[in-house]
Structure 1
Amino acid sequence: LSSALEALPPPRPQILYLCSEPPVPGAEVLLGAISAASPEPLPQRPRSAPGGGDIALHIYTSGTTGLPKAAVITERKLLAAASLARLCGVRPQDVVYTPLPLYHAAGLMVGLGGCIEIGATCVLRSKFSASHFWDDCRRYNVTVIQYVGELLRYLCQSPQRPNDRDHRVRLALGNGLRGDVWKRFLDRFGPISIREFYGATEGNGGFINYTGKIGAVGRANMFIKYFAPFELIKYNVDKEEPVRDERGLCIPVGPGETGLLVTKITKEAPFYGYAGDPMETEQKILRNVLVHGDAFFNSGDLLMMDHEKFLYFQDRVGDTFRWKGENVATTEVEAALAMVDFIQQVNVYGVSVPGCEGRCGMAAMCLKPGHSFDGQKLYSFVEDVLPGYAAPQFLRVQNALEITATFKQRKSHLVTEGFDPHVIRDPLFFRHKQAKAYVPLTPELHARILDTALAL
């Protein structure tokens, strides 16, 4: 933070810390001012009257294109997200356990914000722990838990205990829960109502699975169609663009077909975009979708709707994949790996790993002439500059990287081939935590990873 402040031209932003001593030069501290402040409510006169369109905060999201961007969260959107907890069935007498980071929209706006909006009690944990999760729930009489899909998978993978069902949790709300984990979770921990929802931080719509249909992220109904009209449209994954008809309009898919989710931008469902970045904002808008002149928010997600109008998440398109409950921007990882002295070009993408939620990071690279691959050096570099969830678990060394006709790096066939040494003839490497190095991915090691999700 201090190095970033030095690089910014004046006027520099105000930095506030909830502490007694400033951890970086130029920051202000709040504890003294808070202690000296009167406990009496503020009088009415100095208060402002914020409107629904006023900016409440910015939340950084990787979206589906480029580097992370500051999504504009208005007062209206903040209140809408906070009301999600009430819509899912949280009551004032509930105790809500949130082990999610508060720099995410889910933890901050839905978890903490939902408790404030309802008047429920919120229990925060600084870092998720599978071994302490249920002990915490028992200690604080928790009745509602918040999750991302990976969180519940970790709970299901933890050693079984005789008191697994000894808790008061009646409701779980979150997103990204896979159908097989859903079933295992209920079988092991008891009849807990699951409220799976879908939404993007910067998005203008979303869904709630209010019936508990296993595997679904929500259900379409007339209220959603009225307040936030959406469509699932045909999408060409190889070309990374929607399929259009002879009129230049997009083509809706039918029941049971996978399509790109787009939500109409209207007065009731506005898209506020990204702070100070009109070009990135425009990239998320898809125009001329159903009629010429309309505008839709491009979610970057592929969904499928069945004949009962239940919606199921299928995949993510573009330059982002989801791993360990986090969105990973491939361009950010590529920029980091490009600084390694023996790497000439790199292409980062996500691959499926059996038994794991989301997609795991993998990088195809070609080496600089006269340089050789150094697995220990690369491991140390990645450990220093990237968070664990963004570190590529698999590497593929190629003589040259393929590009498309529009000079974009080709990813689709790399994703399809994955990390199978029986299929791929290029040298493969695995990020081995015990060895603290990227080690050759042998058929034997590949089998161990498939059997146990080794060290992922």
Structure 2
Amino acid sequence: MSWSEVLNGTVRRVVATAQNGLEVVRLGGLETEARATDFRIVERRPMYRLRRYFADDELSPPSGPPVVLVPPMMMSADVYDVTQDQGAVGILHSMGLDPWVVDFGSPDSEEGGWDRTLADHVVAISEIIDRVRRETGRDVHLAGYSQGGMFAYQAAAYRRCRNVASLITFGAPVDTLAALPFGIPGDLAAPAAGFLAEHVFTRLSIAGWMARTGFQLLDPVKTAKSRIDFLRQLHDREALLPREQQRRFLATDGWVAWSGPAVAELLTQFVMHNRMVSGGFVIGDRPVTLAELTCPILAFVGEVDDIGQPTAVRGIRRAARKAEIYQYTMRSGHFGLVVGSIAAQQTWPVTGEWVRWRAGDGPRPQGIEPMQGDEPAVDQTGVSVTDRILHTGASIAEVGVETVRGVLGATAQAVRGSRELTAEAARALPRLVRLGQIQPHTRISMGKLLAEAGERSPRSECFLFDDRAYTNEAVNTRIDNVVRGLISTGVRPSTRVGVLMETRPSALVAISALSRIGAVAVLLPPTEDLAEAVQLGGVATIVADPDHLRVAERLGPPVLILGGGETRVLDIRPDSGTVDLEHIDPDDVPLPAWYRPNPGRANELAFVLFGRFGGRVEAKHVTNHRWALSAFGTATAANLGSGDTVYSIAPLYHSSVVLATLGGAIVGGSRIALSRGLDADRFSTEVHRYGVTVVAYTWTMLRELVDVPDFEFDASHPIRLFIGSGMPRGLWLRTMKRFAPAQVLEFYASTEGAVVLANVSGAKPGSKGRPLPGSTPVRVAAYDPVTRRFLEDEHGLVRECGVGEVGLLLGQATGHEAVNGAIRGVFTAGDAWVPTEHLFQVDADGDHWLMDERNAVVRTRRGLVYGEPIVCALGALEPIDLVVNYAVQVGDEEVAVTAVTLRPGMSLTASDLADGLAELDEDRCPDLIHVVPEIPISTSYRPRRSALRVAGLPNPGARSWYRDDDGRYRRLTKAALAELQGRAAPTHLTGPSVDVPGGG
């Protein structure tokens, strides 16, 4: 080639480059003469415009199954029509389908656009499905790219798949925290997302250029390579034109603004709390879960997609176990899934074939395979090291850029454990510090903490009930309105007001409103002891729901009615004096001069609760400090945070619900989910729909779930923890097996005083654990249950029990509590301790084990028999369901009798009993064991033994056993029973002792 030819070629190249460059500068790109595909706007709303493509095509009008394509929030709807021959709508139409596209427009050019929420987008898609269904008469195939795919999942779940033929998504992450871009660890991303949602995007929206720049930075190597390639080929117009529309779309034209509220909601629900997987994300005021998706799903997965990473995309398998889910894996990055030659060759033809197959018009497309449910390791994203190196390494070599992503990923894994511990400490320390700063006159109460939550996060959900979500702002407004109603009827600080209500939002509001006034909430259990409870609680007024109107009016005090729904009809007698609080306009009630919201101080009475001890009803007085101790202690021990939803299936009047469940959730900033009652089907539905992570129980409540033979509960449930008190060891073990990998956090809390124990580690099922940080110091004092006196040492002080010795649990008097029964001079001169009702022993590790109520110990001729070790030992046997131990008087002595019930279809033998009790000392085993058809259960699910005790000794038979002189259990015969009844021997124990208050 001559020098002149080379020179001429160079000149032509320079001239062509200059001409094309000038065109790019003037027009933003090269003129391709390409035109957008024809479409008609069939629906125009403030939130969207609905496009129907080829609607006016007389030669080929749309007639096949409708496919609605949803763009991401930050991308133009034209992503599905970049070029007609290679775009989605053109290819799908050529395959006989009916393509529709959702156009959300850009918030910066739409009226009210900057105020759009994420829920607005989902509700809009639901409306569009209805419109397309009416227009075509056919169910809709809903498809979405990236966040548009997330919208598609959410909208289908919101509708519970009504009129949705199938879901198709392209690089749509579900398990967002499993694999974030750049390999960012989820436990770093979640708090960062929370900060951005609360402090940045409440004030700032994202312009289109910011969205474009941000996404280009997610793959800077590819962005730099594409720009360099464009510049290198700028002289060759023919080579650039085929890809010019795609380049211009991704470089400039394809990006739209994001509204701040929508971004904040996205970060909060789906990054910070990952509720696409756990369930419980809220659309409007409705909690929604992907667990209710039942339509077929096809997910396109990019092997080298670092934005919608494979592991995150395949999270749909965990989230939607009921659905038939398929995947199509492509060697593509994120944008290549829907735009470009690979998408034209694979994505859209496969999508069309999928729709035909689901419509019964063709076979299953090649390459589509069922998505497997295998869980990846915690350090995997789904993009293999080889794929990442091959895909990005070549680009790096071309543009001369080095990467340290792998090193950063390895470093992140190395510090993951320490970071998680740091995150837990960051939550726990402020709570413990605040608890430690509480003095007798510190203002602290339920009403105050709810008000603080409302000020901190007004739009966050406070509680969920009956498929509705209530925000902190709405709840506090309702509380303040009820406060005015109560004040108008004469309720003042320290007034004792009975609350007689079923579990419902108005019950929670009533309790909180009383706290906000500084009144005392007396939580009345709707039992046969109701009149006695009203008297013991000193109730001056009763707040009841409509269901308890008649019962409340018979109790004597004035009655106020609250709640029951907008359509309720009350039959209030004119002469009854009953007041309907719902008819009081809060704006008409002036606040008196004495009113100060949330005046309750730590040492003031907050609640009166009730329990049954020794066969009688007792009132338990709970101060604000005592409530705060349980609230902060539960939040700390359970590591509750804003991502948790705490589900209460126990009634609100139960002490553990008020002290631990509600208190812990409020302090932890967690959502509270209330249920109308314990039902297996309702439990399964609400756990997924609300995204329940923590379940609160009482006593044997979980039997209703664990032992139901036909109870269907998905193994992918979001529950991580059960918290409560009184669960028998056997049920504890069955619960962990049934709901694995969830753990059990068992508490022991004295209602009066400030003793709180918790088995935080769960390593010793049955143990009550150790005192929580911030709770009062505890000691186990030597105690004689027979004489009901403390045992002294040589100095006249009460002796503290050693390891394994049984004694009475005491809590040190703190000065915060308005309690009776504190005793002084116990372990040192002048000290003050509050006795509990329970006997404990402490093991060598410092863990506390409950032995019995101090008035329930059986005094046999062999010595003392404690009930709880027997319950734990026999309850662990597979055939046994419930166990109770009680005393039957025979002559001058007591006989230790144990009653058990069996699980369905199982039997019990003497050898089973011997194996179960093998670890107990012989003298602490029961004299008699018998199988009974049923053990009565209280309204709080506590096994009752009073009726069995009254019935006396069991009858001889094949399911009754007695312990012979050699310590073996034999079938109880008439002769053996007669011999037992003929025995009579006095019982006595001796030793230095002092009287115990309240022990009689």
TM-score, normalised via structure 1 length: 0.64
SS in structure 1 of the partner of residue 643 of structure 2: coil
1:16 and 2:537 are equivalent in the alignment? no
1:303 and 2:830 are equivalent in the alignment? no
Deviations 1:273-308 (A, max 9, x none): 2xxxxxxx33xx344321233321111222222222
Q: Measure how far apart 1:147 and its partner are.
A: 1.5
* 2:931 and 2:959 in contact (8 A); partners too: no
Give the partner amino acid of 1:15.
I
Aligned to 1:213: 763
SS in structure 1 of the partner of residue 701 of structure 2: helix
Q: 1:57 aligns with which of 599, 607, 616?
A: 607
* 1:236 and 1:242 in contact (8 A); partners too: yes
Distance in 2 of aligned mates of 1:213 and 1:2: 38
Q: Measure how far apart 1:161 and its partner are.
A: 5.4
SS in structure 2 of the partner of residue 212 of structure 1: coil
Give the partner amino acid of 2:749.
G
Deviations 1:225-259 (A, max 9, x none): xx522211222233333222233222212223333
* 2:678 and 2:704 in contact (8 A); partners too: no
Give the partner amino acid of 1:74.
T
Q: Measure how far apart 1:190 and its partner are.
A: 1.0
* 1:61 and 1:201 in contact (8 A); partners too: no
* 1:218 and 1:310 in contact (8 A); partners too: yes
Provide runs of 4+ in structure 1 moved above 6 Å.
Answer: 39-45, 422-426, 428-433, 437-440
Give unmatched runs, 5+ long, in structure 2: 1-527, 564-579, 859-865, 876-880, 901-909, 911-924, 936-947, 962-968, 970-1000
Distance in 2 of aligned mates of 1:51 and 1:218: 30
Q: 2:818 aligns with which of 263, 272, 295?
A: 272
Aligned to 1:69: 618
SS in structure 2 of the partner of residue 76 of structure 1: helix
Distance in 1 of aligned mates of 2:888 and 2:581: 49
Q: 1:20 to 1:186 in 2, by over 3 A?
A: closer
Q: 1:261 to 1:162 in 2, by over 3 A?
A: same
1:128-167 to structure 2, matched below 5 A, reads 128-130=678-680, 132-159=682-709, 163-167=713-717
1:233 and 2:764 are equivalent in the alignment? no
Q: 2:632 aligns with which of 75, 79, 83?
A: 83
1:174-185 to structure 2, matched below 5 A, reads 174-185=724-735
1:399-414 to structure 2, matched below 5 A, reads 402=892, 413-414=894-895
Which has more radius of gyration? 2
Distance in 1 of aligned mates of 2:654 and 2:692: 22
SS in structure 2 of the partner of residue 359 of structure 1: strand
Deviates more, 1:128-137 or 1:163-172: 128-137
Distance in 2 of aligned mates of 1:47 and 1:209: 39
Q: Measure how far apart 1:187 and its partner are.
A: 2.5
Distance in 1 of aligned mates of 2:812 and 2:548: 48
Distance in 2 of aligned mates of 1:218 and 1:3: 34
Give the partner amino acid of 2:716.
D
Q: 1:419 to 1:108 in 2, by over 3 A?
A: closer
Q: Measure how far apart 1:145 and its partner are.
A: 0.3
Q: 1:3 to 1:166 in 2, by over 3 A?
A: closer
- What is the RMSD computed on CA atoms of the aligned residues? 4.3
Q: Measure how far apart 1:419 and its partner are.
A: 6.5
Distance in 2 of aligned mates of 1:424 and 1:301: 20
Distance in 1 of aligned mates of 2:530 and 2:657: 28
Higher strand share: 1
Give the partner amino acid of 1:27.
V
* 1:20 and 1:30 in contact (8 A); partners too: no
SS in structure 1 of the partner of residue 960 of structure 2: helix
1:27 and 2:559 are equivalent in the alignment? yes
1:283-294 to structure 2, matched below 5 A, reads 285-294=822-831
Q: 1:132 to 1:50 in 2, by over 3 A?
A: closer
Distance in 2 of aligned mates of 1:235 and 1:425: 24
Q: Measure how far apart 1:168 and its partner are.
A: 0.9
Give the partner amino acid of 1:260.
L
Distance in 1 of aligned mates of 2:706 and 2:529: 41
* 2:698 and 2:725 in contact (8 A); partners too: yes
Aligned to 1:195: 745
Distance in 2 of aligned mates of 1:228 and 1:91: 24
Q: Measure how far apart 1:150 and its partner are.
A: 1.4
Aligned to 1:253: 801
Q: Measure how far apart 1:137 and its partner are.
A: 1.6
Q: Tell me the percent identity.
A: 23
SS in structure 1 of the partner of residue 715 of structure 2: coil
Give the partner amino acid of 1:444.
A
Distance in 1 of aligned mates of 2:651 and 2:771: 30
TM-score, normalised via structure 2 length: 0.31
Q: Measure how far apart 1:154 and its partner are.
A: 4.4
Distance in 1 of aligned mates of 2:729 and 2:736: 11
* 2:640 and 2:669 in contact (8 A); partners too: no
Alignment length, in residue pairs?
Answer: 354
Q: 1:431 to 1:152 in 2, by over 3 A?
A: closer
Distance in 1 of aligned mates of 2:530 and 2:545: 20
1:313-328 to structure 2, matched below 5 A, reads 313-318=850-855
Deviations 1:186-217 (A, max 9, x none): 22321113222211111322122222322232
Distance in 2 of aligned mates of 1:254 and 1:308: 12
* 1:271 and 1:297 in contact (8 A); partners too: no
Aligned to 1:359: 884
Give unmatched runs, 5+ long, in structure 1: 274-280, 322-348, 365-397, 403-409, 451-456
Q: Measure how far apart 1:165 and its partner are.
A: 1.9
Distance in 1 of aligned mates of 2:855 and 2:776: 23
Deviations 1:365-418 (A, max 9, x none): xxxxxxxxxxxxxxxxxxxxxxxxxxxxxxxxx6xx64xxxxxxx6xx33x255
Distance in 1 of aligned mates of 2:581 and 2:763: 50
* 2:747 and 2:756 in contact (8 A); partners too: yes
SS in structure 2 of the partner of residue 15 of structure 1: strand
